[in-house]
Structure 1
Amino acid sequence: MNLRNRLQYLKRLCTAHFVSNAILCVLFLVLRTVRPLCTIVFPRTEPECSLEWRESNILLFLLCVVVIKNRKFPDVFQFTKILFSLSKVANFLLFFYSDIRLAILYSVLCLLVVLIFPEPAYKGPEDITYFKEEPFFEELENNPRTTWLIECYAAWSPSCQRFASIFAGLSLNYSHSHFKFGKLDVGTNEKLAQRLGISTSGTSLELPTVILFQNGKPVIRRPVKNNKGKVIKFQFTEANMIRDFDLNVIYEESKTKAQRKQEKKEKAEDNKENAEEKKEK
């Protein structure tokens, strides 16, 4: 990951959404161990201002689950999503064992944070063409030599929102005259979603879906379905995208195509000049 992408990641991590969720993740630990908060919130708990054996075990179990869930090294936003979700569950259990009223208050607080501070949409630089249905398929027919990497997304999907910055970064690093990046909004076009074989239900595992088009036809698609029609979950990380779609190879091939096209153009111009010189003689 280059410096520009790292700065963009850091900027997004400093938004109210991530800061508020980070506070929720450590809320029980802070209230339980920091004076004078611990004596106010947990006045009759022993030992005073320190974790009980059961509480320590829950936190240790949380740490083990986070490590197991992230053994495939997902990107930072997928990591934070898993961390936030598991930490909130652990915090709820810890508050519940101490006082059910605190657990209810914590649940309400989590709901308010979700409503007030939703995950921010990506608004950084990108080299992406946004298509509607017909213009996209017309582009494939009219320019089959151009390779397209298309993200089929829905604006309301959290997974698509998290993937936006990764796809934008890839477009900046790999976009070329013969290799372009585009987006199709299947969330507002059910007909287009059906044409591409993508489910847009609220529980769909096919958002986002990324399809590589070469010679006007789809050749690689993620995620895919198994023989039973079940979606095989795909981790949309930068490394996985580069590997599964052979982006380095396609980028080099597109540069070669552009170079050959330029050479043909120059050769045609030279032949034209030579022909004109012969006519003058």
Structure 2
Amino acid sequence: MAPSAADMVLGLKSILIPHYIGNIILGLSYFVMKTFPPICTRIFEDCSLEMKEWEWITFLGCVIVLKNRKQATFGAYVNTACLFAKVLCGFLFFKTNAMYGILYGVACLLHFVFLPEPMYTGPEMVTYFRGPNLDEEIKRDKRVIWLITFYVAWSPPCVSFANLFSELSAEYSLDNLKFGKIDISKYPEVAEKYRINASAMSRQLPTIIMIEGGEETMRKPYISPKGTVVRYVFNKENIIKDFELNIAYDKCKKNPLKPRKSDKEKAE
């Protein structure tokens, strides 16, 4: 589904902060400086991009499109695009003059240190599981619906999705609709049980699984009958729609958990 005009405006507003602006400037720096006089006349021999440079830019565009297919937010999309653009800019600056490349690397380092990516600072209602306590908690009360993210800390898509999952937990969490996370790089037995590949080349990171009545009812991304991972775009709209969070929330809201009777009360 194509984003609406309102979504695009909201996405643009979300990147109008120093971190993203600095990232965009660094990502475009070589191409602007190489073609914008009088800067190009002072630094480079001419003010035009060479054919080889145009080929690299085209290749960069293809890489950005491929790598950005699963980004959760507009900001994550911009950051990934800028990351690959900065790699190319650094190479081109260094190719022109080693000192230019070093100075560009220092500029990127300063940006990383002094203008870090903003983190989600709002409330979250997420349970962080540690190995066996995942199944214990699920079995404790099967009236609870769980939405669980299986992730690894070093995966960029998992890091990008973390803020969005926290926002969803704050918006939808109830006593009988809960959100959880588990780092499957630390608990490979959990990854194996839930059939999730946690390797560096995995296309299953992150994986979200909905559990109702103690059983899995939905997962994204899912594995096709042919054994291939079906690509999934992790954005708020898709998750709410595909996991039917509004329906689950209304159902849980209308049927709050009632205290269970103790064995003594049952006997009486």
Instruction: Please confirm whether the aligned pair reaches a TM-score higher than 0.5, indicating the same fold.
Output: yes
| Correspondence 1:231-250 to 2 at 5 A | 231-250=229-248
The residue number in structure 1 matching 2:40 is: 38
1:219-261 superposed Cα distances (whole Å, 9 cap, x missing partner): 1011111233222221111111111111111111111212xx6
Choose between structure 1 and 2: higher helix proportion: 1
3-state SS of paired residue (2:255): helix
Separation in structure 2 between the aligned mates of residue 23 and residue 224 of structure 1, nearest angstrom = 38
1:134 to 132, 135, 148: 132
**How far apart are residue 133 of structure 1 and its match?**
2.1
1:70-219 alignment runs, 5 A limit: 75-85=73-83, 87-88=85-86, 91=89, 95=92, 100-102=95-97, 106=101, 109=104, 113=108, 116-117=112-113, 122-219=120-217
Provide the C-alpha distance between the structure 1 equivalents of 2:202 and 2:57, rounded to a whole number of angstroms: 32
Question: Could you tell me how far 1:200 is from its partner in structure 2?
Answer: 1.4
Which protein, 1 or 2, shows the higher relative CO under an 8 Å CA cutoff with sep ≥ 6?
Answer: 2
Match of 2:27 among 1, 25, 28: 25
Give RMSD over aligned pairs. 4.0
After superposition, the C-alpha distances for 1:45-103 in whole angstroms (9 at most, x for unaligned) are: 1xx5xx4595996699689869977899963134214532564476478x48xx83359
Distance 1:74 1:190, change over 3 A: closer
Q: Name the counterpart of 1:274.
A: none
Q: Post-superposition shift, 1:187?
A: 1.9
- Contact 1:62–1:90 (Cα < 8 Å) also in 2: no
Distance verdict in 2 for CA 1:245–1:149, change over 3 Å: same
Supply the AA of the counterpart residue of 2:17.
C
CA contact (8 A) 2:152 2:205 kept: yes
With over 3 angstroms needed to count, the CA separation of the structure-2 counterparts of 1:175 and 1:52, relative to structure 1, is same
**Mapped contact 2:122–2:167 kept (Cα < 8 A):** no
What letter matches 1:136 in structure 2? Answer: L
Q: Which residue identity lines up with residue 248 of structure 1 in the other structure?
A: N
Q: Provide the secondary structure at the position in 1 that maps to 2:137.
A: helix
Q: 1:130 to 1:13 in 2, by over 3 A?
A: farther
Distance 1:121 1:198, change over 3 A: farther
Unaligned runs of 5+ residues in structure 1 are 1-5, 266-281
The Cα of 1:28 is off from its aligned counterpart by: 1.8
Check 1:181–1:13 CA distance in 2 against 1; reply closer, same or farther (3 A cut): farther
Instruction: Provide the rounded CA distance (Å) in 1 between the counterparts of 2:81 and 2:164.
Output: 19
Give the TM-score of the pair, scaled to structure 1.
0.70
Distance 1:81 1:230, change over 3 A: farther
When Rg is computed on C-alpha atoms for both structures, the one with the higher figure is 1
Following TM superposition, by how much is the alpha carbon of 1:174 offset from its aligned partner in structure 2, in angstroms? Answer: 1.0
**Counterpart pick for 2:17 among 14, 21, 25:** 14
CA distance in 2, matches of 1:106, 1:225: 44
Question: Which residue of structure 2 lines up, in the alignment, with residue 270 of structure 1?
Answer: none
For 2:142, the aligned partner's letter is P
* Residue identity in the other structure for 1:29: F
